[in-house]
Structure 1
Amino acid sequence: MKKFLLIIILIPLILSAQPIDQQINQLVTKYYEAGKFNGSVLVAQNDKVIFKGGFGEANMEWNIPNAPDTKHRIGSITKQFTSFIIMKLVQEGKIKVTGYLSDYLPYYRKDTGGKITIEHLLTHTSGIPSYTAREDMSDIGKNNIPVEEFVKKYCSVDLSFEPGSQFVYNNSGYFILGAIIEQLTGITYEEALHKYVLDPLELKDTGYDTFKEIIPKRSTGYVRTALGFSHADYLDMSVPYAAGSMYSTVEDLYKWDLSLKTEKLLPAKYMAEIFKPRVSGLGAKYGYGWMMKRILSPDSKDSVTIIAHGGGINGYSSYNMRVIEPGYIITIADNATGSAQVEIANVILNVLYGKEYKNPAKTLIPIVYKSINEDGIDSALKLFNELKNDKDNFSYNERELNQLGYLLLGEKKLDESLKIFELNTILFPKSSNVWDSYGEAALEKGDMENAITYFKKSIELDPQNSPSYTHLKKLGVEIEKKNDLVLPVEKLKEYEGKYQIAPNFILTVFVEGDKLYTQATGQPKFEIYCSDIDKFYLKVVDAKLEFNRDAEGIVNSLTLYQSGQVIPCKKIE
């Protein structure tokens, strides 16, 4: 049920005269060979399927291949179906999006439920903390918990902010919407799915996933590791529920997408409400269970509207994208986490428009691991440093290096693990997570002094990093968790200006009221929060900004830290 930042990437390199279906097949095959995709893909334009195929294996132990009709868990794509059922209930007069949570769910606490509207739940603006962010989520996920009990225990905590004041992607809101659907219809959420969507559209390969049921052609979920794949942890599907419990095929998702352009299930005026851009979030506008954004088309002739949503859940990754004006539909489902599904969709878009594109690079991590075992850690690090600059053929990132470090840690190769974590802190020195991992390795080694230093560094970089506080507390070191700094408006104004990320791509920083915002070219604005002097972070995505000053103390640039990248941005205005 992970969140996805809607980014359209158009990278030139390869131009082919092959038929489009062959180009797509060749492209996705490259991602499979690079270890970045293992699943099913369908590409269409309106009612014409351009390409569909399977890559890799639905079950790796039995060597069963993926196919277009392989059933995969789709995670947060479930939210599209939940929001749709809510709008069906609006049509039936059973609910209003302006109505309050407590009006429809009598057992919900009245003090907060009386000010949270249905629209707040649909648009991730309720202020209810997401239960999937809990530190004990892995334990919760192993239990089958009745809906009402789950809502009361995990979705009824105190609000993080006033409803409607912020966008923070939230699975609790959609879990509650499922409970409301059951309350209003008198049937289960699963039965409502069939009544309102699956049966009318004859989506026979789509449903509410359960562990016990025998589901033909259901894939097994995996986790990408430093060396390949491992089984995903067990997750009882009563826990994702209306926020992420469904399975489907790329073929059925295509049928679903086609139906959204008709009035077969819902009159146009109600359908339009689903896709109305309402709030800024995740690099786009958010409607009811969908993200939407206008971009310049790859052929640079006109702007087009992208409507999309991704899904990520234990063992699975998915993406459903519609390009409205030319009618392109791209559905992708991967039965492994850590997929490049969004990147693949964006590159397929280049292929559809006849533009150049870049093949994926292979990850360096298996090569490094093999070298560690055969030649030792020092030789492996030397090899890594020789190959890391060949970005056309090899890639690495913070997550993969961390996985390698933990793999070595699990193999009790403590010295090798420590050197990999150290390398990660050198390559990504501003990442709180890598310092926390480095601390865990030092702790395992028995080096308490350095472990404390690394955990403190992690907190310095991200004062909200709860695991590091927990580690330090166990080591007898008490550090008070920092709250965001509240700076006076005159101080915030020191950061205002335009900062150049790339030619024709500017990050504007400005003050509104008593808050500081940032807005990139062609994107919505986001509030940024002060963790320390000159250091800010975003809540909607994992990104940090650090403002830099000249010798006279004037802000003259900023550094953007996002997705393992360190991007210097000069102040130009």
Structure 2
Amino acid sequence: MKNKINILFSPIMILKKKYILTRHWITVFVLFAVTPIAFAQQKAKQIDDLMGRYVDNGKFNGSVLVVENGKVIFKKGYGLANMEWNIPNTPDTKFRLGSLTKQFTAMLIMQLVEQGKLKLEGKITDYLTDYPKAAGDKITIHHLLTHTSGIPNYTNLPAFKTFNRNRYKPADFLKQFSDLPLEFEPGSAFAYSNSGYFLLGAIIEKVTGKTYEKVLQENIFTPLQMNNTGYDMFFKILPKRATGYDRWNLEYENAPYLDMSIPYAAGSLYSTVEDLALWDQALYSDKLLSASSKAIMLTPYKSDYAYGWGVYKTQIAQLKDSVEAMGHQGGINGFNTSLIRIPKNKHLVVLLNNTGGTNLGAMQNNILKILYDQPFDLPKISVAYVLGKTLATTSLANALKRYAEIKKQPAYYLNEGEINGLGYGMIATGKIREAIAVFNLNVMEYPQSFNVWDSRGEAYMLNGEKTKAIMDYKKSLELDPYSMNAIRKLNELGEKVADPKEATVEDKILDTYVGKYQLTPSFVISITKEGARLYEQATGQPRHELYAESESKFFMKAIDGKILFVKNEQGSVEKLVLFQNGQEMQGKRVN
């Protein structure tokens, strides 16, 4: 008999019999529910398929762990922990955590508060008597924990790259930012600041008389048997430690060195996905902290930030009700990380990646959809990624043939910026002929984009094809009269082109753009005004003057970049959009 088996979603196995009686026979229908183990296995396979697609797409290289209803249902490593020795990632590979460190620092602070050794309303100068009093007398522990202190973020300082290789004692490093003027009155605004958590580490050491590393070990890692977690220092021999890499288009390189005395209590820890599952489970108990203190620690303040955690409501696909989530992401040279927990259902997703910046948020959200039995889409495959891999292993003709085969297939996606980046990757390795061929594809696909003509013009210049370069740069300028790179290149090629005429913007409108805009936790653009001129300065980069293309859109002459200011429905400027190298990034206004 052809019949359908209905699956009952239940935490226990159900065996239900229905008897239908007639004069001559009895038919027995048995309805079986699939056990929780079978459901978990099904979800584990879906997660594996999902992450495998990200891996095949060059978007993930690391380890994953997923907890459902308090039980680990999936853990696996993907890609390589060390590319030189071809050593694979596994669930017990150790990764640098970056800013996931902050939740551990916050826990230590709350333990000290519970012991009566610290007060949340206590001032910096109550504990660090040498700290400048002008700021230290009014900034509290609470301000430091919630990123509302107003202390400038030291990783945003222009000089950061000049001292990030040096080893510092905490008291010495504090001098890098302690004398800087506050960005706002403490408590009045939110601005993500590693400086605040660095200070918390120094306060922990002062109050306990022990190193931050030792307090972590004694108060958290040893009690929870987190034997694969600790303070990462480069000189230590650390078994199963992943190497951090950055990816330039399709090529990987070792990430720049960063001495871990600098991230310190803001980002210095290493761990495994398995140990972070132990940490998650401990937060459901009173082993480390009382329930009342945990409630304080996990109460969100400005911008949904609690003490070391983002705490917020999130809507998962088509679910009627939102759920409360607690999470954080981290990024540090060669690594980026993500941890999210849903306390109501005891769900946890941990993603640790050792190939620099990638969009872990998209992966995390898809895994949550799987946990809640919601529809999700497998990520499409990048045409640019496949094209680049094919170019690396076969002829240009074969690569172009492969491109033509897949570019319109539903499982693949085409992106102008990625194709453009691949072209520049070819230039970087001296493959100018291949670069021109790649840029040709972009010109055919996106003929109304000024940037694709600009990029091909550069390749023609490098190849000595001056006439073709001039034609492409003129086309780029026709599409965007404010393209300063095209103007500069045309002048270099002997074509005299004047700078574009700047629009006039009222002074009071310029004033509304002044502020800080956070594009990522570690990348901020500051907009300042001097006289009637606006200036932008991005994290770790020189300052550039802005020139008005319109009332809300500005261009830069020194570099190829534009900024658009966006207002909300109330007419207030709430974000900016940065356009650079054919890409765009949005930054939320934080003060």
Q: TM-score, structure 1 length as denominator? A: 0.70
2:252 maps to a residue whose letter is: F
Residue 107 of structure 1: CA displacement? 2.1
Residue 54 of structure 1: CA displacement? 1.2
SS of 2:508's equivalent in the other structure is: coil
Partner of 2:60: 37
Structure 1, unaligned stretches of length 5 or more?
Answer: 1-15, 463-483, 493-529, 549-554, 568-573
1:236–1:439 CA distance, 2 compared to 1 (3 A): farther
Q: Distance in 1 between matches of 2:449 and 2:361?
A: 27
Kept after mapping to 2: 8 A contact 1:88/1:266: yes
Residue in structure 2 matching 1:334, options 335, 353, 356: 353
Residue in structure 2 matching 1:74, options 76, 91, 97: 97
Partner of 2:46: 23
After superposition, the C-alpha distances for 1:217-267 in whole angstroms (9 at most, x for unaligned) are 111111123114221111111111111100000011011011111111111
1:200 and 2:223 equivalent? yes
Residue in structure 2 matching 1:109, options 105, 112, 132: 132
SS of 2:48's equivalent in the other structure is: helix
1:243 and 2:266 equivalent? yes
Partner of 2:310: 291
Partner of 1:96: 119
1:79–1:19 CA distance, 2 compared to 1 (3 A): same
SS of 2:138's equivalent in the other structure is: coil
After superposition, the C-alpha distances for 1:322-375 in whole angstroms (9 at most, x for unaligned) are 012211111111111123322111101111112221112223334454687888
Kept after mapping to 2: 8 A contact 1:536/1:546: no
After superposition, the C-alpha distances for 1:356-401 in whole angstroms (9 at most, x for unaligned) are 2111222333445468788879x99999799666674135474x56
Partner of 2:278: 255
Partner of 2:327: 308
Greater mean alpha carbon deviation, residues 97-106 or residues 415-424: 415-424
Greater mean alpha carbon deviation, residues 137-146 or residues 271-280: 137-146
Q: Distance in 1 between matches of 2:136 and 2:462?
A: 45
SS of 1:337's equivalent in the other structure is: coil
1:361 maps to a residue whose letter is: K
1:488–1:266 CA distance, 2 compared to 1 (3 A): same
1:176 and 2:199 equivalent? yes
Residue 536 of structure 1: CA displacement? 8.1
Q: Distance in 2 between matches of 1:256 and 1:201?
A: 7
1:487 and 2:473 equivalent? no
Partner of 2:248: 225
SS of 1:487's equivalent in the other structure is: helix
After superposition, the C-alpha distances for 1:508-536 in whole angstroms (9 at most, x for unaligned) are xxxxxxxxxxxxxxxxxxxxxx9966438
1:272–1:137 CA distance, 2 compared to 1 (3 A): same
User: Equivalent residues in 2 for 1:100-139 (5 A)?
Assistant: 100-139=123-162
Give the structure with higher Rg (CA).
2
1:359–1:266 CA distance, 2 compared to 1 (3 A): same
After superposition, the C-alpha distances for 1:73-128 in whole angstroms (9 at most, x for unaligned) are 11100000011111111112222222222222222211122222222211112222
Kept after mapping to 1: 8 A contact 2:152/2:177: no
After superposition, the C-alpha distances for 1:119-171 in whole angstroms (9 at most, x for unaligned) are 22111122222111233433322111221111112454222222222212111
Greater mean alpha carbon deviation, residues 97-106 or residues 17-26: 17-26
1:167 and 2:185 equivalent? no
Q: TM-score, structure 2 length as denominator? A: 0.68
Residue 409 of structure 1: CA displacement? 4.7
Partner of 2:209: 186
Q: Distance in 2 between matches of 1:461 and 1:124?
A: 38
1:329 maps to a residue whose letter is: L
Kept after mapping to 1: 8 A contact 2:68/2:371: no
Kept after mapping to 2: 8 A contact 1:361/1:395: no
Residue in structure 2 matching 1:364, options 369, 383, 390: 383
User: Equivalent residues in 2 for 1:378-389 (5 A)?
Assistant: none
After superposition, the C-alpha distances for 1:263-301 in whole angstroms (9 at most, x for unaligned) are 111111111111101011xxxx11111112112344524
Residue in structure 1 matching 2:428, options 389, 410, 420: 410
After superposition, the C-alpha distances for 1:460-485 in whole angstroms (9 at most, x for unaligned) are 999xxxxxxxxxxxxxxxxxxxxx98
1:486–1:290 CA distance, 2 compared to 1 (3 A): farther
SS of 1:311's equivalent in the other structure is: strand
Residue in structure 2 matching 1:158, options 181, 198, 202: 181
Q: Distance in 2 between matches of 1:96 and 1:246?
A: 25
SS of 1:88's equivalent in the other structure is: helix
1:30–1:185 CA distance, 2 compared to 1 (3 A): same
After superposition, the C-alpha distances for 1:387-430 in whole angstroms (9 at most, x for unaligned) are 666674135474x5675465345335679879989969x89979
Q: Distance in 2 between matches of 1:323 and 1:83?
A: 19
Partner of 1:519: none
1:350 maps to a residue whose letter is: K
Kept after mapping to 2: 8 A contact 1:155/1:176: no
1:560–1:43 CA distance, 2 compared to 1 (3 A): same
SS of 1:197's equivalent in the other structure is: helix
1:59 and 2:51 equivalent? no
SS of 1:86's equivalent in the other structure is: helix
1:487 maps to a residue whose letter is: K
Kept after mapping to 2: 8 A contact 1:224/1:336: yes
Q: Distance in 2 between matches of 1:257 and 1:197?
A: 12
Residue in structure 1 matching 2:373, options 345, 351, 354: 354
1:239 maps to a residue whose letter is: I
Greater mean alpha carbon deviation, residues 137-146 or residues 380-389: 380-389
Kept after mapping to 2: 8 A contact 1:104/1:183: yes
1:289–1:157 CA distance, 2 compared to 1 (3 A): same
Kept after mapping to 2: 8 A contact 1:485/1:531: no
Greater relative contact order (CA < 8 Å, ≥ 6 in sequence): 1
2:141 maps to a residue whose letter is: I
1:126–1:430 CA distance, 2 compared to 1 (3 A): farther
1:535 maps to a residue whose letter is: S
1:346–1:151 CA distance, 2 compared to 1 (3 A): same
Percent of pairs with identical residues: 42
Structure 2, unaligned stretches of length 5 or more?
Answer: 1-38, 485-504, 513-545, 555-561, 587-591
1:535 and 2:552 equivalent? yes
Greater mean alpha carbon deviation, residues 157-166 or residues 294-303: 294-303
1:559–1:289 CA distance, 2 compared to 1 (3 A): closer
1:486–1:328 CA distance, 2 compared to 1 (3 A): farther
1:190 maps to a residue whose letter is: E
Greater mean alpha carbon deviation, residues 302-311 or residues 115-124: 115-124
1:380–1:545 CA distance, 2 compared to 1 (3 A): farther
Residue 202 of structure 1: CA displacement? 1.2
Q: Distance in 1 between matches of 2:575 and 2:407?
A: 22
Greater mean alpha carbon deviation, residues 406-415 or residues 55-64: 406-415
Kept after mapping to 2: 8 A contact 1:128/1:156: no
1:37 maps to a residue whose letter is: F
Kept after mapping to 2: 8 A contact 1:46/1:258: no
1:176–1:391 CA distance, 2 compared to 1 (3 A): farther
Q: Distance in 2 between matches of 1:543 and 1:300?
A: 37
